[in-house]
Every structure is written in structure tokens, then in C-alpha cells.
Structure 1
Amino acid sequence: MAISITTELLDGCVLALLTHEDYYGYALTQQVQEFTPVSESTMYPVLRRLKKENWVITYDQPFQGRNRRYYQITATGRQRLQEIQLDWQNYQSTINRILGGTDDGK
């Protein structure tokens, strides 16, 4: 059973992957799909939103007679990722307590 992922978490996944290297859209989609089910039709609006928020920038590289658009995380994107990571840690801790996890040792 797959649990749906929120917009904020999907943004965080994309930004986290981009901290390791720049990706073009299809390759980035493939990377995200290794962790959670997401379609290309979902990913491209995410990428446009991240660019609009200045969390990523784009550049084109020629490949086999065509251009590939690569995405690169910005300093603002790195700050946003830290916020998402903190939100996730707080959320995860709360859910672990509710579900009987061992987050707080009880």
C-alpha cells in the first residue's frame, strides 16, 4: 500500500536529490520514483513551482541534438530544504508517539 506524499514532502525530496547533483527533468523523476510513486505529469508542475519560488534554477545542456533542461538547487532552496527537514522531523516524532513508536522512549 502506498501512502500519498504531501506537496511539501515532494518538494523536499526533489530539493534533497538536487543537493547531490543537478538532474534533468526525466532523470529527476526517475530518482524520485525510486522512493515514492509519482508521475511525470506530477513532477513537472513541482519543478515549475520550485523554479518560481527561486528554490531551483535551470540551465540547458545539449544532448544528442537536443537540449536537456537541468535543475540546480539555489541557496534559497537549501534553506527551504532545511525548513522541510525540520518540519518532517517534528511530524515524524509526533506520529511515532501516536503509533506507539519508540521516539521518546515510552
Structure 2
Amino acid sequence: MGAQVFDRELKKGSAELLILSLIEHKARHGYEISKLIEERSGGVLKFNVASFYPLLYRLEERGLIAGRWVEKAGQRRRRYYRLTAQGKEVLKTQRATWLDFVNAIHRITEAENA
């Protein structure tokens, strides 16, 4: 498996966790979520529109997030997403799973350096 394929699969596997985490405490619109991921990752993680918005729609269909259109004077209409109760449970589980995964990788990669 090439590095690009691995990177793409890693990004795909973490996208849901990232989105749910960013709207855990504050409703955000899609563009804001996408930009926060890019900024906070130092530009390492970027999502193109063609894959990002369908992901938001799938999360909404699954009941993990809820969207609501908001219109503000002088601005275009935006859809703001918030975490649902079901989304909070999924986020909790995903965080624990990722933590276990990262700790396991760390134990393996650091074992040779001990």
C-alpha cells in the first residue's frame, strides 16, 4: 500500500471523529468545520468539497448531527450542524477507540527504542 493510499484511508477513518469533535460544544457550518480541521492540523488534513459535504449529509441521515439553515443579513444562507444525543454517544466511543489505537501504535513503535 503506497503512502498516499495509506494517508487517504487514515483521513477517511478519522473524518467522522474530527467533525463530531468540532461541533460537540458549538454549532458550526460546513465551511467553518472544514477550515478548522485544516488550520488545527497545520494543513496536514484537508477535505475537498466533493467529499466533505456528502459526509456531513450522511452523518445527518444517521442521526449523529442535526442541521439547521440560518440566514443573516448581508450573508449567504448557511447550514449549521450540532451534535445530537446519539452523536454524543458515538463520539465518546470513537474517542476511546482512537485513544486505544494511538496508544497501541505508540507502544509498538516505542518498544524498539526502549
Band of TM-score, shorter chain: 0.7 to 0.9
Shift, 1:37, TM fit: 2.2
Aligned residues with identical type, % of pairs: 24
Per the alignment, in what secondary structure is the counterpart of residue 68 of structure 2?
strand
Q: Cα distance, 1:33 vs. partner?
A: 1.3
Which structure shows the bigger proportion of residues in strand conformation?
A: 1
The equivalent residue for 1:24 is 29
| Larger deviation, residues 1-10 vs 48-57 | 1-10
* Distance in 2 separating the partners of 1:9 and 1:92: 12
SS of 1:100's partner is helix
Q: Which runs of 5+ in 2 are unaligned?
A: none
TM-score of the pair, normalised by structure 1: 0.84
2:65 is the counterpart of 1:60 = no
Correspondence list, 1:78-93, <5 A: 78-93=88-103
* 1:7-50 deviation line (CA, Å, top 9, x unaligned): 34210100000012111111111111122222222211110111
Q: Give the aligned length.
A: 102
Pairwise CA RMSD? 2.0
Contact 1:57-1:74 within 8 A present in 2 as well: yes
Runs of 5+ consecutive residues of structure 1 not aligned to the other structure: none
* One-letter amino acid matched to 2:85: A
1:98 is matched with: 108
Q: 1:25–1:44: 8 Å Cα contact kept in structure 2?
A: yes
More helix by proportion, 1 or 2? Answer: 2
Q: Give how far 1:61 is off.
A: 0.8
Q: After TM superposition, what 4+ stretches of structure 1 lie above 2 angstroms from structure 2? A: 1-8, 63-66
